[in-house]
Amino acid sequence: MTQEADLIVVGGGMAGTVAALAAAEHGLTAILLEKMADLGGSSALSGGVLALAGTDLQAKAGINDSPDLLREDLLEVGEQENDVAVVDAYIANQLDTFEWLRNHGVEFSDNVWASSGQSVPRSHTVEPAGTVRRLAALGRETGKVEILRNVAVQTLIRDPITDRVIGVTATQDGEEVTFNARKAVLLACGGFSQNPGLIHRFVPLMDRAVAAGGEGNTGDGLKMAWKLGADVADMPYIKGTFGKHPVDRTNIHTCLAVYKGAIVVDDDGKRFMDESMSYKKLGDECLKLETASCYQIFDQGVFELGDNDTPVFDFERRLESGLLMKADSLEEVAGMLEIPAETLAETVRAYNASVDRGDDPLGRRSVVHHHGELRRIEHAPFYVYPSTTCVFGTYCGLAVTSQAQVLDVFGAPIEGLFAAGETMGGFHGGAYMTGSALGKAAVFGRIAARAIAAG
Ligand SMILES: Cc1cc2nc3c(=O)[nH]c(=O)nc-3n(C[C@H](O)[C@H](O)[C@H](O)COP(=O)(O)OP(=O)(O)OC[C@H]3O[C@@H](n4cnc5c(N)ncnc54)[C@H](O)[C@@H]3O)c2cc1C
């Protein structure tokens, strides 16, 4: 069986659903193929944060941000390893994408908050699963987008004469099916956080990290494009995220009490890192420990800074579900963790003294990045969150132009092949700013659709 459309979109997360809808609005027909039973991928599981700068929500909250400052931060966080043209494309399109999403009924929380890598608060939050569902429904309503689930794309088809990518083969109900693309194929099929073999190949340090992310994110897009000679970018910089409960699988989100003032101790009850660092760097440090796990410890003052609407700060729900442990004293905490009470007491005493003096020997100067005053840990009850590192996403992938067209290993565009979202590399560089992955999926989904329509 063969079906045909202007655009074949592989993957139904944020990048794919944005691209299909945007393509339809540019007058194209699109078939979106999703290999799982449900759309959403990592996007639906995510914290829903998009890194955006210069929005009216920021202005309303008195936050002074600008696209230029976002650009500066992205390059600084990315350790200047980013592809500047790709970053610039994000900068040029992010505000417009924010408005486009809002115009399509996507609601952003008024609470714009600061997170890792952001020199001013610019985390804009949506309800992610609902957003993907909405974009998919709007795509269908145009009458130009067809969405097929349980269809796993297997290969890219190239025209034997022009070399242009002209379609894909896929399996559907055990049968091989062909989908022809009159204009282009867009790989929006996420990263490879669920492929331990690929993770090991690029970053063996992550072997002990918990694998998270969409179940279907096994690197299919990379492999299909590699077969065609595609290049990659940012592969050595895959990082895990700190704050995942080591054994629980009911709450996929990390807990970042550190960014409200918690300290982190190892199995001996000692601090070992500057907790204000990017949660990616915290993740690396945690994996270097013998057990690859540690504990976030905080007091009632930090607990009260929790925020039930922001999964990483939702302490109450974690307490209710038994993931967050509570104790009346630090001695009790030490007993729970089977560490010497005097060691933990000394760790907290030394930390509080360094908060008072403002010269933490591990270099912590703020709660997160450059924000927030440090606070003493002193008001009972005390709380403990066992934490390890997990790989939510692989912030690297296919090398692309600023218009999301895939490049081959010689730097030449592969005609007819585009990539958006987590399948693409080059944008994050050496490290990732909170919100820039979901943001990238939305922004480059639109960029790709526009470029394909124009091409
Ligand atoms: C728990 C969690 C929290 C996160 N929080 C944030 C956050 O708050 N902010 C942020 O910026 N980033 C966050 N991230 C990362 C971010 O969610 C992802 O990078 C982003 O959503 C990727 O979007 P995407 O559309 O590229 O891919 P996805 O949303 O993963 O969609 C890819 C889709 O392609 C499908 N697919 C794969 N292979 C095939 C194939 N062969 N054929 C057909 N379909 C295929 C998959 O099944 C999947 O549905 C988080 C990730 C996780 C897991």
- 362-409, pLDDT tens digit by residue? 999 999 877 889 999 999 999 999 999 999 999 999 999 999 999 999
Taking alpha carbons only, the member of 429, 426, 423, 419 closest to residue 449 is: 419
Instruction: Quickly state the pLDDT bin for 335 (edges 50, 70, 90).
Output: very high
Atom of ligand 1 nearest to the CA of 445: 25
Domains and CATH numbers, the chain: 2-237+395-454 (3.50.50.60), 241-391 (3.90.700.10)
Give the angle subtended at the CA of 141 by the CAs of 135 and 142, to the nearest 5°: 95
The DSSP output letter for 328 is S
pTM attached to this predicted model: 0.90
Mean residue pLDDT of the chain comes to 96
How far does residue 236's CA lie from ligand 1's centre (Å)? 19
Pinpoint the alpha helices (H) of 184-321.
196-202, 220-226, 279-287, 300-303, 315-320
Closest residue by CA, ligand 1 atom 3: 46
Whats the size of the chain, residue-wise? 455
Instruction: Quickly state the pLDDT bin for 2 (edges 50, 70, 90).
Output: confident
Q: φ and ψ at 10, to 5 degrees?
A: -100, 110
The CA distance from 304 to 301, in Å, is 5
Pocket of ligand 1 (CB under 6 A): 10-16, 33-36, 40-43, 45-49, 152-153, 188-190, 212-214, 216-217, 220, 252-253, 392-393, 421-422, 435-439, 441
How far does residue 42's CA lie from ligand 1's centre (Å)? 3
Q: Taking residues 423-436, what's their average pLDDT?
A: 94
Q: What is the sign of the dihedral through the CA atoms of 60, 64, 70 and 71?
A: positive
CB-CB contact of 260 with 306 (8 Å): yes
pLDDT at 23: 98
pLDDT at 320: 97
Closest residue by CA, ligand 1 atom 41: 153
Kindly tell me the burial class for residue 359, based on how many C-beta atoms sit within 10 Å of its own C-beta (0-12, 13-18, 19 or more): exposed
3-state SS, residue 230: strand
- Spatial CB neighbours of 94, under 8 Å, sequence gap ≥ 6: 51, 52, 53, 67, 70, 439, 443
- Spatial CB neighbours of 31, under 8 Å, sequence gap ≥ 6: 3, 5, 7, 8, 9, 145, 146, 147, 148, 179
pLDDT tens, residue by residue, 54-70: 999 999 999 999 999 99
- Spatial CB neighbours of 24, under 8 Å, sequence gap ≥ 6: 30, 139, 142, 144, 145
CB-CB contact of 184 with 418 (8 Å): yes
Question: Residue 390 forms beta bridges with which residues?
Answer: 210, 241
How far does residue 357's CA lie from ligand 1's centre (Å)? 43
pLDDT at 84: 98
* H or E segment to which residue 104 belongs: none
How far does residue 449's CA lie from ligand 1's centre (Å)? 18
pLDDT tens, residue by residue, 284-293: 999 999 999 9
Q: Residues of the chain with pLDDT > 70: what percent?
A: 100
pLDDT at 249: 87
pLDDT at 217: 97
Instruction: Quickly state the pLDDT bin for 184 (edges 50, 70, 90).
Output: very high
CB-CB contact of 121 with 81 (8 Å): no
Atom of ligand 1 nearest to the CA of 39: 49
The CA distance from 128 to 131, in Å, is 5
Give residue 237's identity as a one-letter amino acid code.
Answer: Y
pLDDT at 362: 97
Q: Taking residues 321-327, what's their average pLDDT?
A: 97
Q: Residues of the chain with pLDDT > 90: what percent?
A: 92
Atom of ligand 1 nearest to the CA of 36: 47
Would you tell me how many other CB atoms lie within 10 Å of the CB of residue 425? Answer: 26
SS (H, E, C) 331-347: HHHHHHHCCCHHHHHHH
Distance from the Cα of residue 278 to its chain's centroid: 13
Q: In the predicted model, is pLDDT for residue 116 greater than 80? A: no
pLDDT at 180: 98
Q: Which of 79-88, 151-160, 304-313, 385-394 has the lowest mean pLDDT?
A: 304-313
